[in-house]
Amino acid sequence: MKGKKFFIATEKEIEDGKASDVYFSRSHDLLGQEQVKVVVEITSSTSEEWINFTGLQEVMELLKGKDIEMWAIPEGSIISPRDSLGRNIPFIVIRGEYSKIMELETAILGFLCQSSGISTESSKVFMASYPAPFISFGIRRMHPAISPMIDRAAYIGGASGVSGILGAEVIGIEPSGTMPHSLALTMGEDKAWSYIATHFKKGTRTLLIDTFGDEKFKAIEAAEKFPDIDYIRLDTPSSRRGNMAQIIREIRWELDIRGHSNIGIMISGGLKKDQLKELREAGAKVFGVGTSISSARVIDFGMDIVELNGKPITKRGKLSGMKNVYACKTCDFCTIGLFDSKPYCTEHGEMVPLLQKFMEKGQLLRLHEKVSRLRDRSVSALVERLDKIKQ
């Protein structure tokens, strides 16, 4: 790290296995030139009922050019980490010489664990706020070097927008933002409001109203002065909040009776998923959710050898053999099975394998999917879950 300004690994250092636990490097040296062909699988021991699996694209880029084969669950899949019989499913299966991948295990797991943790929490926020959209505001709470990853994972998980400039660039959208309290303090609230109301494009004209005064009266003032704005935003500190749902009801009533039903209410500031349903039902139309998404608990993935030189073998607590995941097209039954097996659902017949081949001899077999498509996959599955809950 000598000579660096920031405590971050470069892309080359990650690719060279330097951002790794030292015992992998030592093991690599001990194995030397010995050719050991393995199948490794990545499973999760998380207690989560389901996860939103992300981070695969970075794994593919890391392994590109190495003489290995790789199968994986597609990114943006909402899936249980266990099959219907309670056995851990493989999210990724890699086959090749162990020396090609062993020093990269730390980086591979890091890509998956943190990204999937963020996308999973974002999906939980989506389900709690639906149908109200939310924007990911959380990158200021994390190391700036990983802000694009945070925003990408949050967006795949269901966020309708992200605040980060680099994150939005990675996703291929415009970054989302309103106004900071500092603008009202330095420019003056009226001038700040006027600038946003007259210079921002329709759909983005959002006035922050709680810098100096009571939320209800400031909402009325903003609406009377700038009746064509899209939203008023409340980012009230916790020491001033009281009953936030009731404050939203008051604001909604006062705006409606004055003919400002066109102006929506946006809420941000320390929000957690458990709060969103009540606030949405009180009248909030959009949320800004930050720290609870960006600081999400990681999904605990592990990588284990399950086959050595063509023979099934693994450590205690794991299941040996190269496996796939099979799902019934009609019901929710899901099971693991040996890779070339053809398990059947007792009710509906043949099942489909979920692992798709992404790499052969180090070459990518398909282009990376657009982030918007990954989000569509997630959102479709989440809405389906919500519909089942309602039933």
For 271-280, the pLDDT digits (tens) are 999 999 999 9
Q: Tell me the one-letter amino acid at 152.
A: R
278-308 pLDDT, tens per residue?
999 999 999 999 999 999 999 999 999 999 9
Helix-strand-coil percent breakdown of the chain, rounded to 5?
A: 40, 20, 40
Q: Could you give the angle at the alpha carbon of 211 between the alpha carbons of 208 and 212, nearest 5°?
A: 130
- Taking only the tens place, the pLDDT of each residue in 204-243 is 999 999 999 999 999 999 999 999 999 999 998 777 778 9
Let me know if 136 is exposed, middle or buried by CB neighbors in 10 A (0-12, 13-18, 19+). Answer: buried
Would you place residue 342 in the very low, low, confident or very high pLDDT band (cuts 50, 70, 90)? Answer: confident
Dist CA 111 CA 61 (whole Å): 11
> Could you tell me which CATH number the domain at 131-294 has?
3.20.20.70
Band the pLDDT of 30: cuts 50, 70, 90: confident
Distance separating alpha carbons of residues 42 and 289, to the nearest angstrom:
30
Band (340; pLDDT cuts 50, 70, 90):
confident
Longest dimension (CA), the chain: 79
**pLDDT for the residue numbered 390:** 83
CA quadruple 255, 256, 261, 264: dihedral, nearest 10: 50
Residue with tokens 């020491």: 239
Is the pLDDT score of 48 beyond 90?
yes
Q: Where in the chain is the domain with CATH 3.20.140.10?
A: 11-116+297-390
Q: Please report which residue ranges of the chain form alpha helices under DSSP H.
A: 11-15, 22-31, 56-63, 105-129, 147-157, 165-171, 181-187, 189-199, 215-225, 244-257, 273-282, 291-294, 371-390
What pLDDT, on the 0 to 100 scale, is given for residue 350? 87
Please tell me the predicted confidence (pLDDT) of residue 122.
98
Model's pTM, two decimal places? 0.95
Main-chain phi, psi angles of 110, to 5 degrees: -60, -45
pLDDT score at 237: 79
Does the pLDDT at position 102 exceed 80? yes
Say whether pLDDT at 260 is over 90. Answer: yes
Q: pLDDT tens digit string along 142-175?
A: 999 999 999 999 999 999 999 999 999 999 999 9
Query: Per the CATH hierarchy, to which homologous superfamily does domain 11-116+297-390 belong?
Result: nicotinate phosphoribosyltransferase (3.20.140.10)
pLDDT over 80 (residue 60): yes
pLDDT band at 378 (very low <50, low <70, confident <90, very high): very high
In the chain, where does the domain assigned CATH 3.20.20.70 lie? 131-294
Three-point CA angle 52, 53, 56, nearest 5°: 155
Q: Which amino acid is at 210?
A: D
